[in-house]
Structure 1
Amino acid sequence: MSIQMMKAAEQKLQQYFGYPTFRPGQAAIIERLFAQQDTLGIMPTGGGKSVCYQVPALLFSGLTIVISPLISLMKDQVDGLNEMGIKATFLNSTLTGEEVVDRMRGLRRGDFRLLYLAPERLEMDSFVRFLGELPLSLVAIDEAHCMSQWGHDFRPSYLSIRSWLQSLPQKPAVLALTATATVDVQQDLMQHLDIAGENTIVTGFGRSNLKLSVRKGIDKAKALEQFLQQRRNEAGIIYASTRKEVEHLYERLSRAGYGVGRYHGGLGEQERTEAQEAFLLDQKLVMVATNAFGMGIDKSNVRYVVHYNLPKNIEAYYQEAGRAGRDGLESECVLYFSPQDTRTQTYFIDQSELAEERKKAEFHKLQQMVTYCHTEQCLQQYILQYFGDQIGDACGQCSNCLDTGEAVDVTREAQMVLSCVKRMRERFGKAIVAQVLGGSSNQKVLEFGLTKLPTYGILKGMTLKDIGLFIDFLIAEQYLKPTDSAYPTLELTAKSVPILKGEEQVFRKIQVQVEQAEPLDDVFEALRECRRALAEENKLPPYMIFSDKTLREMSAYIPLSEEELLQIHGVGSQKLEKYAEPFLEVLETYREKKTITLKASV
């Protein structure tokens, strides 16, 4: 029976969706549903979760109900299914009373294979009685992480699903699906829905087509415009943490001539709907939005996702970033980080009405998000480790993997910081620890008598900002651990003991730091003319010599030696040997405009 059903399922897959075979995980889930086994599927965004219930819906005799948290997603899914010839409908607050009645009549007649609805509708007694009269074969719970209080987007309305299922006269098969669930959330969902471990299918969280990067210590607005200049014909999403920030970016990008839409909770429903439609239809290529936008957005050609501010946790970040590259093509996910972002998210948690235990958990998740921004580990590996997935090899394409900075021994500086935290009895946060190390005469440092510590001022050769960044590095590498609170204090970890004893070393990559500078257009044009001449001489496309980005950076910093030229992005040893002389000759004529000195620092 199962073999025959799976053959029929593959036939439907080819017939309606145009795919010859199922993707990894899909067949395992569908086989369990045919055997009437409740199943939990953890699949990455773009992994084909919807097929796992849409194909069985074509073969089951009864109705398939899909519980979805967003109205916009329902409409998109139903429109797509009807376009393929699969009868589907939805019931939500956008419909008139007459439309609802008409669709309910159709459901009684058996006109539809799938019904999409929001979980809140299951709290209506009259509607629950109506569903009890229908022949249900399958219930699919989309975005199932919303059911767990330890998930990143818990919705109390999801808790009504279990009691509703238990009230049904004949229980259908149940499929819970999500793209982002930590091990704790998976266990929570299995317990909520009585799903056995062998019926939990995890296909992995890795997205090999996503190029992850973190940028910090930059002018965000300028960096964003430079990023977008190279992607004017590509669709992308820019996430900001507040409505005010969304409005600011929307106005700025609109003035710069970008086709940009905006989406946040402060806009009217019609305006949000129009903005989303314009984005889906490529009428607006750039969408600036808060996290209110995008859950379940079925747009496959999003080529980049930029987080202008720090998300609240890794789950939220990876779900939002995962909206890039749903078609499997290479896409970029860029996160701009600044310390102010952490304070904003801390404020949101602190001002929430969450129970203290939940707040503590949210502060812990926020710190893990901050650590992501400071780790030197492969960013893809960090995320896989967070979700309890198999880590595997480094991705080779994230900003950390591509960082060519030299690893230097910073054991002595690490010992100083760790010793200072220990002598301060692990009672203070990063700011005060940095002030003590830097020899600050801040009022609190004096008030607590911290100037008497032997570690007072031992890093006074560094700025407080650099000391703070070094502490962030030690936290990211798990030598220090902040407590889970709005005002975290620093604690030593077991990993710090061999460092303090001198038994192990600490290495950190050297970062090339430059001041922000505006490219000099006349220099850029002279460099471009030099490139054009070389391209003609060597019968090469100009970009094969140096990219515009490389020339822009040259024009901004005007390197005057081979050593400085090597610090420019896109200049390697081979190109240095081939092209250094003609480009340095051009740059030498602009020596008087040089105002920035490239330097390397720990």
Structure 2
Amino acid sequence: MLEQAEQILQKSFGYTSFRTGQKEVISQLLNGQDTLAIMPTGGGKSLCYQIPALIFRGLTIVVSPLISLMKDQVDALHAAGISATFINSTLSIREVNERLNLARTGNLKLLYIAPERLDTPQFQTLLDEMEISLFAIDEAHCISQWGHDFRPSYLKLCDYLNEMKRRPLIVALTATATPDVSKDICHLLDIQNENVVQTGFSRDNLAFQVVKGQDKDKFLLDYLEKNSSESGIVYAATRKEVERIAEFLNKKGIASLKYHGGMNDLERDETQTAFLFDEKRVIVATNAFGMGINKSNVRFVVHYNIPRNMEAYYQEAGRAGRDGVPSDCVLLFSPQDTHIQQFLIDQSELPVERKENEYRKLRQMSGYGYTEICLQKYIVQYFGEDEENCGKCSNCLDTREEKDITIQAQQVFSCVKRMGERFGKVLVSKVLTGSNDQKVKDWRFNTLSTYGLMKGSSQKEVLQLIDYLTAEKYLQPADGQFPSLHLTEKAVRVLKSELIVMRKEAKQATRVVLDVDETLFQMLREKRRELSVRDKVPPYIIFSDETLREMCQFMPQNEEDMLKIKGVGAVKMEKYGFEFLTLLQNEQTGVNIE
């Protein structure tokens, strides 16, 4: 049966070989073994159940947490000529019944549902009547209460599966599971430890970068201008911040969408569609956007604020480069942002034990902003693995010159000390720059020896310096919504002239490099966009950026060569391949087709 799986991989999906871990997962399923697959975003988890679904006689049920994911997956399967559909809350009762009848009559191979669908008697009847060969549980970390996105409906799903008269074969899939979460999933789904397939958490095509102690708006604007032809996501922690950033970017000429939970369903659907179809290339969003988004040509993900934990960060950052093409993951780190997340944990209704777990995870996430080791290494260590230095993250490549800023640091620390370590960075910066602010006068801080010590600098520059000193752990913000600054032991040593403070030059935004002929690549992209409009499907479903990149590299000149390109299967060759082949043939011979 594995030979049959390889034929399907080539014919339906256009790949000549399996990615790491795929063959192992598929082999176990074909041998009737329940399996947990832990593979990074973009690692090809979907094929692990889609290929067995085409081999098994009965129906494959795919449990998926979000409507957007279901639609993406089904659209991609239809483009490959595979019978699949979904049932979710966007459908009318009539549409639901029509799709259930398709399943009953054997005209479907895959049916995508939300976990809550299992609670409905109508669906339970369908499961009792039909031969269900495989139950695929996507985003399986939602099962575990120790995971970053625990959902009670997923826990009920485990109970339901264990109570079924004819329990089907099960495959659980996730990109983000710590050893504790993995153990929990196996326990709840009764999966044997030897049937866990874990391919490693590192993503070779991603370049991680932490930018701290700098003007976030300036860096973001510069980065987006340098990558104006690329598609990307900017994540912010709150709805208010999303609104502000999107407005700022649009005023600066960067056409940007916004997405958050305060928008109505229609607004969110229209925004998501515009992004998926490349109508606008930048979307500013809260974490309400993206879980399961299958858009493969996202070239960068920028986090404007720190997420709550490493699982959430890696899942969101991992939406860059799903097609395997080099992509950027940038965190604009400000130590104060941790207080937003701390406040959200404080306000949550989580049990005390889970709150403590969330605080611990937040501290580990904050450590990512401070660490000087390889960023990819820090991430995979969090997930229980070890890794060599990646050689391309901002820590591995940091060759900026350092400047001695000990005197400025002493001025800041002295001011914090003279203000009694009772105030936050804004008031400290006002005192240092000699502000006439009423609060400064009310507290008589204008009489301090440190008042106006930095009057030659702007308040913004001093705030950035304070952020840098906090990030480097010379200053420690207290807990609370308006944290006061305190000196650490490091700062005391600086004041005693026992330690010098060095600061590197500001980081410069760079372009994502695709290492292909850019003119030809953009020409193929434009053809893909035309076909996308014609067929009303997102561009990446036609062909991924990785596929277009291979076309540029290998310049296929006939159908046989075209079918050797990753992602060009027989169905897609017939549907779209010849239009791209004509472009490539004309480019090779120098024919002007305009």
Task: State the match for 2:224 in structure 1.
Answer: 228
Structure 1 residue 327 and structure 2 residue 305: aligned?
no
CA displacement at 1:351 relative to structure 2: 0.3
| Residue 5 (structure 2) aligned to one of 3, 6, 9 | 9
CA displacement at 1:158 relative to structure 2: 0.5
For 1:311-322, list aligned pairs within 5 A: 311-322=307-318
Cα distance in structure 2, aligned partners of 1:435 and 1:468: 13
Unaligned residue ranges in structure 1 (runs of 5+):
411-433, 446-460, 517-602
| Residue 152 (structure 1) aligned to one of 137, 148, 155 | 148
Structure 1 residue 207 and structure 2 residue 200: aligned?
no
Structure 1 residues 135 and 217: CA distance shift in structure 2, 3 A:
same
Cα distance in structure 1, aligned partners of 2:355 and 2:276: 36
Report the secondary structure of 2:505's partner residue: strand
What whole-Å deviation, never above 9, does each CA across 1:239-269 have from its counterpart, x for those lacking one? 1111111111222222222232111111111
Would you say the 8 A contact 1:409–1:506 is kept in 2?
no
Structure 1 residue 404 and structure 2 residue 382: aligned?
no
Query: Percent identity of the aligned residues?
Result: 54
Cα distance in structure 2, aligned partners of 1:400 and 1:190: 36
Task: State the match for 1:395 in structure 2.
Answer: 390
Would you say the 8 A contact 2:421–2:485 is kept in 1?
no
Cα distance in structure 2, aligned partners of 1:122 and 1:252: 44
What whole-Å deviation, never above 9, does each CA across 1:100-158 have from its counterpart, x for those lacking one? 11111111111100000000111223322321211000000000011111111111110
Task: State the match for 1:190 in structure 2.
Answer: 186
What whole-Å deviation, never above 9, does each CA across 1:414-442 have from its counterpart, x for those lacking one? xxxxxxxxxxxxxxxxxxxx979964452
What whole-Å deviation, never above 9, does each CA across 1:478-510 have from its counterpart, x for those lacking one? xx9x99x999999x9xxx9xxx9xxxx999975
Would you say the 8 A contact 2:212–2:468 is kept in 1?
no
AA aligned to 1:442 is G
Cα distance in structure 2, aligned partners of 1:270 and 1:228: 27
Cα distance in structure 2, aligned partners of 1:439 and 1:488: 11
Structure 1 residues 506 and 358: CA distance shift in structure 2, 3 A:
farther
How many pairs are equivalent? 464
Structure 1 residues 96 and 402: CA distance shift in structure 2, 3 A:
same
AA aligned to 1:399 is S
Cα distance in structure 2, aligned partners of 1:91 and 1:135: 18
CA displacement at 1:168 relative to structure 2: 1.7
For 1:434-473, list aligned pairs within 5 A: 439-442=417-420, 472-473=471-472
Would you say the 8 A contact 1:407–1:507 is kept in 2?
no
Cα distance in structure 2, aligned partners of 1:236 and 1:509: 33
CA displacement at 1:164 relative to structure 2: 1.2
Structure 1 residue 245 and structure 2 residue 223: aligned?
no
For 1:548-567, list aligned pairs within 5 A: none
Structure 1 residues 334 and 471: CA distance shift in structure 2, 3 A:
closer
Cα distance in structure 1, aligned partners of 2:20 and 2:48: 11
Task: State the match for 2:120 in structure 1.
Answer: 124
Cα distance in structure 2, aligned partners of 1:281 and 1:378: 35
Structure 1 residues 112 and 509: CA distance shift in structure 2, 3 A:
farther
Structure 1 residues 8 and 120: CA distance shift in structure 2, 3 A:
same
CA displacement at 1:227 relative to structure 2: 0.8
Would you say the 8 A contact 1:407–1:508 is kept in 2?
no
Structure with the larger RCO, 1 or 2 (CA within 8 Å, 6+ apart): 2
Structure 1 residues 132 and 349: CA distance shift in structure 2, 3 A:
same
Structure 1 residue 287 and structure 2 residue 265: aligned?
no
Would you say the 8 A contact 2:213–2:465 is kept in 1?
no
TM-score by length of structure 1 reads 0.71
Would you say the 8 A contact 2:213–2:471 is kept in 1?
no
AA aligned to 1:69 is P
Cα distance in structure 2, aligned partners of 1:90 and 1:156: 21
Cα distance in structure 1, aligned partners of 2:485 and 2:4: 59
Structure 1 residue 38 and structure 2 residue 34: aligned?
yes
Cα RMSD, aligned residues only: 3.6
CA displacement at 1:390 relative to structure 2: 2.6
Structure 1 residue 512 and structure 2 residue 505: aligned?
yes
Cα distance in structure 2, aligned partners of 1:41 and 1:80: 21
CA displacement at 1:230 relative to structure 2: 0.7
Task: State the match for 2:84 in structure 1.
Answer: 88
Would you say the 8 A contact 1:313–1:369 is kept in 2?
yes
Structure 1 residues 441 and 268: CA distance shift in structure 2, 3 A:
closer
AA aligned to 1:204 is G
CA displacement at 1:340 relative to structure 2: 2.8
AA aligned to 1:404 is T
| Residue 64 (structure 2) aligned to one of 56, 65, 68 | 68
Cα distance in structure 2, aligned partners of 1:229 and 1:468: 25
Would you say the 8 A contact 1:371–1:472 is kept in 2?
no
Structure 1 residue 378 and structure 2 residue 374: aligned?
yes
AA aligned to 1:132 is D
CA displacement at 1:270 relative to structure 2: 1.3
Unaligned residue ranges in structure 2 (runs of 5+):
406-411, 424-452, 455-461, 509-594
Structure 1 residue 309 and structure 2 residue 305: aligned?
yes
Would you say the 8 A contact 2:225–2:254 is kept in 1?
no
AA aligned to 2:369 is C
Cα distance in structure 2, aligned partners of 1:224 and 1:465: 15
Task: State the match for 1:421 in structure 2.
Answer: none
AA aligned to 2:280 is K
Structure 1 residues 193 and 437: CA distance shift in structure 2, 3 A:
farther
CA displacement at 1:339 relative to structure 2: 2.8
State which drifts further: 292-301 or 109-118.
Answer: 292-301
Cα distance in structure 2, aligned partners of 1:244 and 1:409: 37
Greater radius of gyration (CA): 1
Task: State the match for 1:262 in structure 2.
Answer: 258
What whole-Å deviation, never above 9, does each CA across 1:332-351 have from its counterpart, x for those lacking one? 11111223311111100000
Report the secondary structure of 1:65's partner residue: strand
Cα distance in structure 1, aligned partners of 2:395 and 2:339: 25
TM-score by length of structure 2 reads 0.71
Structure 1 residues 467 and 287: CA distance shift in structure 2, 3 A:
closer
Structure 1 residues 488 and 205: CA distance shift in structure 2, 3 A:
farther
Task: State the match for 1:364 in structure 2.
Answer: 360
CA displacement at 1:84 relative to structure 2: 1.3
Would you say the 8 A contact 2:334–2:467 is kept in 1?
no
Would you say the 8 A contact 2:231–2:299 is kept in 1?
yes
Cα distance in structure 2, aligned partners of 1:322 and 1:244: 24
Structure 1 residues 98 and 464: CA distance shift in structure 2, 3 A:
closer
Task: State the match for 1:56 in structure 2.
Answer: 52
Structure 1 residues 220 and 236: CA distance shift in structure 2, 3 A:
same
